[in-house]
Amino acid sequence: MKQPVRYAPRFLVPAALAAVLLTGCGSGESIEAKQLTIITSEAVLDQATSMAIAHYVQDQGTEVEIQQRSDYDDVFDDLEQQTPADQAQIGVVTARQDTTANGQAILLPEQLQTVSQAPVELRTIAAASTITATQFDQAQQQSAKDKDAQALETHCDQLTWILPEALADEADEAMTELTDQGCEPEYETTGLVDIDTYNDIATRMTAESNTVAMLHNVAPVISDLGLDTLELDNDAGSSSLAVISHTDIEDALEREISAVVEVIDAEAATELLRGYHDAYASESDLDYDVDTAVAYWLAQQDLIDTDTVADMSTDSD
């Protein structure tokens, strides 16, 4: 079996207090804060978004540091720490939407507030090969026709189900209808979807038959591998990508942050993740690192001048 692609992190390292200083471009608006600290998780969308924000505000004379934490509780706890007057601190997280609130408000500890929220709606889907999805649908239809859950239950037990722990609650909600029909998977759990986990899932989806992976709908592996999805409960809850803080941050800095976050719809999120993953897969090519990939994405979103970014097209023409 083909082994998953491994990587040596160029910017973010596993230590709990890992940090990275980045360079980038901004809009030209003056920011009073001399340093911005971004605290984020190991999840790749959180990391990639943090780097995009860092690029965009760095040119204003504000030093940017990204600190990685192993889970969201650590991110929330660290945001409560006091910072000097000339420094600002934010968190970049993926958080569940509050289904009891109007709009797309997110669930956060009471002491934290939302600075900016991306328009992308992150839903948990069950991704599988076209053949696996077709066979599952046939078993589902057979059970419905015979009014007997045995066909679906048997087929469901024959599949390998991969579930990142961070998506456990969403997956339970999304699987409600299938559970009622007799499909109750025993999941093979993983941690947050970091680079290693993502690459491992991608490898297994191509090398192992009868495998289903619970992923967010923006994961580029879905379209890149031509995966299909199983029909889940459309009324299940979803998550949002957000920038949060413990205290108010200055208006100029908030506008810079929001300029990046507010363009991240589903398509932009997928493109950001694709560039991030591809850069790590191509780390031996010094002209295509993660820093450049994020800058290229910013240029695609018309946030920085395309002339400042090297052409990283892989097209042969």
182-231 tens-digit pLDDT: 888 999 998 778 888 888 999 999 898 899 999 999 999 999 999 999 98
Which residue shows structure tokens 């803080």? 245
What is the spatial distance between Cα 18 and Cα 309, in angstroms, rounded to a whole number?
27
- Phi and psi, residue 22, nearest 5°: -125, 160
Q: What does the pLDDT read at residue 284?
A: 54
**C-alpha distance across the termini of the chain, in Å:** 33
Q: Which domains does the chain have, with CATH numbers?
A: 19-122+239-308 (3.40.190.10), 124-229 (3.40.190)
pLDDT (tens digit per residue) in 142-169: 888 876 668 888 999 999 999 988 888 8
In this predicted model, what pLDDT tens digit does every residue of 24-76 receive, in sequence order?
Answer: 455 556 788 889 999 999 889 999 999 999 999 987 778 999 999 988 889 99
E strands, 32-131, are: 35-40, 63-68, 87-96, 113-117, 124-128
Q: What is the pTM of this model?
A: 0.84
